[in-house]
Structures are given as C-alpha cells and as structure tokens.
A and B are shown apart, each in its own frame.
Chain A
Amino acid sequence: MTVSLVGALLALDRTAVLQVMVSRPIVAAPLIAALLGDPVTGIKVGIILELLWIHCLPVGASIPPDETIVSVLVTAITVWNMRFLGAGSEAVISLTLILVIPAAVLAQRMDSHIRKLNIRSARAADAAVEKLDLKGLRAACLMGVRRFYIAYALIFLVLLSVGTLAVYLVYPLLSENLLRGLKIFYYALPILGVASVLSMARIRNPLSVFLASFAAFSGLIEVIKW
C-alpha cells in the first residue's frame, strides 16, 4: 500500500507536477528500494532502466512508455521476491523486468486517456470563469493531478500484487540454464542502454568519439587495477 501511494506521488513528477526528475528510474528505483530497506537493489534497477529510458521524456503531445511505473514495479517486486525466495537480485530483476515491460505501454495509454479527460476540465474552467466561480476554476485547473494520482495508485496496487505473485510462482520453476540466461541478460541490458544513448547523440561522428573514449577509459581502468 505504501509503495503504491509513494509510487503514484513519484509518477506525478513525470508531467503533472514539478518535473524535478524524481520520477526518473535512477531516483525512483533507489527511493522505493530504500523504503523497503534495500537501496542497493534499487540502484541496480535504476542503472538499467535509466539507460534504457534515457531519451524518453513526455515532450509536448508525445507520451513515451512509462519509465516510472516500470521502475517502481521492478524494484518493489524484486526486493519482496528476493526475501520470499532467498534468491540473488540479477535473475529476479531480469524476470520481473520481462514481465513488467507491458505495464509501461498500459500506463502510456492511461496517460493519453487522462489527457483526453482533461479536456472536460478545460470546459469546466470556461464555465467557472463565466460564473466567476474561482473555487471551481481552481478545482478544474488541478483536476488532472487528482486523476493521475488515483490512476497511478490503482495501477500500482493491482500490478504490485499480481506481479509479486507471478514472480513468486514462476521463479522456482525455472531451470538452472534459464536462471543463468537471465543473469547474462541482466548484464547485457546496460550494454543495450548505452547503445541507445549513443544512437540518440546528435554530434558529428558519435561512434568514433565513443570508441576512442571507451578505449581510453578501459586502458585507464587497467592501469588503476595494475
């Protein structure tokens, strides 16, 4: 319940209120994990999801798949199942992520639906102005916040319960091979994330600059290790 309420608050930051980026995976995931007493798992989830969603922001009328919902769900479901199953974080994070990704699209559609509903508030505001009903005007102006908060809290409440149970039931059924595969997948995801970051870089010869930097820093790490 607490995770749903806090998660919904964090999700408001995406577009409706503040936009100080507490909704971003690198913040939301460690925050939720800290709330559950395991900030390190939150950092692990945050690194992967931040990289995968680095260029996704709700700009203007575009609504990207929802990164906050995935961050909160993956983090909470992983932390709980690590406790229930006594499992390591890598395979549980991978399994949860695979199951939860469709929720990003579900939340994207919900967001779009709420923005359509908000047109009613624009009309209500027009009517309130004609009557000079300032209380009604204020309520219409802030109605979207209420809609978003309730929708997010409900989605979290349902998906946290369903997701936690699904991972709890599926994980013990996985073979050693599959678990190892999920662990490899966990380490491969940030590589995809960095590729996604680079693909969006609008500079001249991004790949050459990137590979030169990679070679230089790899060498530096080796020197420090040595």
Chain B
Amino acid sequence: MTDKTLRTVLVRTFFLQSTWNFERMQNLGFCYAILPALRKIYKKEGELKEPLRRHLEFFNTHPYLASAIIGVVVRMEEDVESGLVGADDVNTLKTAVMGSCGAIGDSFFWGALKPLVSIVAVLLAALGFILAPIIFLLLYNLPHVWIKIFGFYAGYSEGVQVFDRFKSLNFPALAIKAKFLGVILSGALLAVLFHNSPAFFLSGGTMLTVASMLILFLVCYGLIKKGTSIQTIIYILLVLSVGSSTLM
C-alpha cells in the first residue's frame, strides 16, 4: 500500500458520516473511505465487487475512532487478498469493535472533552478574550486529529493491537477527570458572568440581585434535573425577565 493511498483513505475518514442513513448508518462513508485502498488491493477485473459489497453492510461507531477500524480493515483486506485470513473475518472484526469504539468515543469526546473545551472557550470569551473560538478549535482538535491519524496508521501497521493501545490510554479515567475539571470551571464561569453583569442588574432593591441570581441558577438547575426542556425554561426566563423589569 503506497503512502499516497493511505493518506487518501485517511482524508476520506473525515467524510465517514457524509451520507449517514437510518438503514445502515455509516456504511456509505466507510465504503467511500476504503475504496482507494480496495482498488489498490483488488486489481483484477471483477474482484472488487465482493469487498465493496462487504463494506456496504451496516456500520456505526464513533467517527473519530472509526479511522483506527478503517486502518485495521485495510490491513485485513490485504491479508484476505493473499489468503491469510477469510473474507468473513473482516466483517466479524468490524461488528466486534464498532460498539466498544462507539461507547469510548461518545463518552470521552462527546461527553467529556467537548463540554470541557466549550466551558474553557466560553470562560475566555466572557473574560473578553476575542480569540476564544480559535483556542476552542485548537484545544478540541489537537486530540481529535491526533487520535484519527495515530489510530489509522497504528491500525494499519499493528492490526487489532491498536485497540489495546486505546485501552492503555484509559479514556474512562480521562473522561472523569475532564468532567470534574468542567464542573470547577463552570463555577468560575458563573462567578465571571455575575461579575460581568451590568450595574442595573445587580443593584439592590431589584429582583435580580446576586442572591436572586444564585436562586435563579438553582431553580434552572432543579427544573432541568426534573426533566423540563431547555426551550421551555428559556420561555419561563423570558416571562420572569419581563415581569421583573416592570418592578424596576
């Protein structure tokens, strides 16, 4: 497999969800990503049909960790072509790892890293740092792009060992730390937001003093915990805000 083909496949992993569908989910993105590699592996007329059919089967995982699975599958397809493994083993592997990669990616990238980086960026923006969006993109995408590149090349060169490497990174422990840090920074963010509020908002005698803002926060928190949707609370806040303005 040439470096150029591997690079092309890697770039195409960024299109994994381009035609996500309710029937076979990421199957089209997977097939699109792996197509250049399959064309290099299966050169004889008609040989390409069977592997393409294989990769149009159901597939769904976390889009960032998918690149590792794709790397492993490229290596396996080479082995299938040279008769070292059976064609069925490819789909068995995909089915076996997509669930766990999906769970790890969802809990770390979506559930921990993204909220943490968002809070950092909002905190910086609230402090008047205009480059906060760039910091957000850098902090988020360094691990994101790294895991995609590392996962893909390690998957291709080491095969299924790449999943042990993921295990050694201990994503669940990292996620807990990120969530804890996120809560601490949320406290800092609320302090900055209170501090940034204009004088009329904080002046004594109005409905929304610092104490009432804290009460407002706790009421919002309680409502969300009870299952009230954010959209509903937004309209409740609107009514409260307009009501309080009449008392000023």
Contacts and interface: CB of A to CB of B under 8 A. Distances in A.
Interface stretch (B1-9, B86-94, B125-133, B151-159): B125-133
A198 interface: yes
A141 B63 contact: no
Provide the main secondary structure of the chain A interface. helix
B32 to A, nearest CB: 4
Interface string A43-86: 10011001110110101110001000000000000000000000
B191 A214 contact: yes
Contacts, number: 275
Nearest to A65: B231
A1 to B, nearest CB: 24
A63 to B, nearest CB: 10
* Size range of the chain A interface in the assembly: 35 or more
Contacts of B192: 217, 221
B182 A201 contact: yes
Contact of A199 (B46, B106, B201, B224): B224
Contact of A182 (B28, B185, B241): B241
B48 to A, nearest CB: 7
B130 A221 contact: no
A191 B122 contact: no
Contacts of A21: 114, 136-137, 140-141
Interface in A108-129: 115-116, 118-119, 121-122, 125-126, 129
B100 interface: no
A35 interface: no
Contact of B31 (A24, A125, A200, A213): A125
B203 interface: no
